[in-house]
Amino acid sequence: MKRWLWDRLFFLAVVGLSLWNVHLATFHAPAIPYKTGLSGRLIEFSRMLQSGHKKKTIAYAVSITSYDPKNKEAHLLDRAAVLHQSIKLAMQQSTRYHFHLYCFLHPDAKSIALQMEHLGYRVQIRETPFNISDVPNGNFVAAQTNGCCLEKEYIKLYSWLLDDYPVVIHMDLDTLVLRPMDDLFDLMTDPSYDRKRFQNASMWTDMEKFEGPVDFLFTRDYNMVDPPRKKPHQIGVQGGFFAVRPNAYDFQKYIDTIVSGEHWFEGIGWGGPKLRFGGYYGAATIQGLASYYYGHLERNRSIELNRCHYNTMVDEPTHFNKRLNLTLCRTTEDSCQDCRMTPVEDIYTVHFTAVCGKPEWCEINHKLDLCMQLFYKWHEVRWSLEQQWANKYPGYKPNAANISSSAKYWNKVLGNMKGHCGDTKRKGYRPLLWPMNVTERLL
């Protein structure tokens, strides 16, 4: 075959495969933007093919510490299904990464192990990684009540033991992924990655000057401490999202730090009077410990992410201090970014906390427009899963109200929620229905 003809065929094959890749991503995720654009993705995918590049596999993980079947308002399994679907849709747009999905189940929640497996989670039944009675610090033991889940929340530490993967992203179930996070994965796995590209995602770090591996990526929960009580590095990690490079060393050092009982001080926190990593809700749990660990014990191995783009809670940036008669940035900066103004297309992951509330609360007139937009995204992802099931399983019908297409405000809002919040006559959340008599994986 002549050389020019071979080159032409190779070019057409590359373009064809690239277009198919783009088609798969956009067909399955029409509502989730990807800013690189078609031409950029074609070039990137073409280079990947020519270099023989194979996709790396990273892991996502969630933790469930308890399950009460009588609590019908929790909708835990709905959240698990929608979170998985959102990860899948985002990862379909990644040209460099595959994913596996794990669930750490405390024995108090093992009754839903089968359901989580049906939803595509690789389930691990995990006890708390230490015996609380072994900790010779009664103040630390008592402080476990100042958090969501007692010491059971420490099962999140098992993320550090998923060492078959270069990166593990741990997320809470009331979160949502909107975009692929390839730059984040590259930063943690590729020594040749140009770190300047990650500057806008970093909260404080000068990425050009940061040397060495990045082992932990996180956001902080600035809402837990009113300024100017704490310096930013003393404030806790927001537990809804973090990324780790798994290794047994960090896992064991975490456990040793806890079990020694020497690092926690009543009313002060981790590190005692000089360091003061504490003084907020959840300080004695993984949120406070991770802040102390990477802020003091293992410094220069972590990067705080911009919380307006990763793990956004749409929180208010300022606090009025009555004593000082001043409005202060919660981050203690002179001027601060307002996450409430972030365009949806610039957000990678969402955390539905008390600020916005939960999508299944069906808030139809939230005071924050961005919260409404993010509610719509959650319901769009759920709807995409329901359509997937309807196409695969004959007779499956989503549990959704029929909303008229009128221009009335309420119909528009309820329609954007895909009928999951009822109609104007009967509002209220309609739980996700599973396909009947199906024993295979649903996701």
The pLDDT assigned to 81 comes to 98
Q: Dump the DSSP string for 170-227.
A: EE-TTEEE-S--HHHHHHHH-TTS-GGGGGGGBSS--TTT--S---EEEEE-GGGS-T
Strands 264-265 and 269-270: antiparallel
The pLDDT assigned to 12 comes to 53
For the segment 302-318, what is each residue's pLDDT rounded down to a tens digit?
Answer: 999 999 999 999 999 99
For the segment 328-377, what is each residue's pLDDT rounded down to a tens digit?
Answer: 888 888 889 999 999 999 999 999 999 999 999 999 889 999 999 999 99
**Amino acid in the structure at residue 124:** Q
Tell me: pLDDT of 84 over 80: yes
Mean pLDDT across 49-57: 69
Q: pTM score, two decimals?
A: 0.86
Closest CA to 263 of 287, 293, 235: 293
Helix ranges restricted to H, 92-166:
113-118, 138-143
The pLDDT assigned to 7 comes to 54
Omega into 359 within 30° of 0, i.e. cis?
no
Tell me: pLDDT of 33 over 70: no
As a whole-number percent, the residues of the chain with pLDDT over 70 amount to: 86
Helix, strand or coil, per DSSP, at residue 402: coil
Question: pLDDT confidence of 222, banded at 50, 70, 90?
Answer: very high
Backbone angles phi, psi at 90, to 5 degrees: -70, -45
Tell me: pLDDT of 156 over 90: yes
For the segment 255-279, what is each residue's pLDDT rounded down to a tens digit?
Answer: 999 999 999 999 899 999 999 999 8
Contact (CB, 8 A) for 231 and 222: no
The pLDDT assigned to 204 comes to 87
The torsion angle over the Cα atoms of residues 107, 352, 347 and 19, rounded to 10 degrees, is 60
Mean pLDDT across 196-221: 93
Mean pLDDT across 230-246: 92
Residue 415: how many CA atoms within 13 Å on its side-chain side? 10
Contact (CB, 8 A) for 291 and 257: no
Tell me: pLDDT of 110 over 70: yes
Tell me: pLDDT of 236 over 60: yes
Residue carrying structure tokens 């992410």: 305
Mean pLDDT for all residues in the chain: 87
Question: pLDDT confidence of 119, banded at 50, 70, 90?
Answer: very high
Sheet (strand 302-304) strand order: 122-125, 97-105, 56-64, 168-171, 237-244, 216-220, 302-304
Domains of the chain from N-terminus onward: 53-351 (3.90.550), 362-443 (no CATH)
Tokens of 223: 């809402």
Tell me: pLDDT of 47 over 50: no
Helix, strand or coil, per DSSP, at residue 118: helix
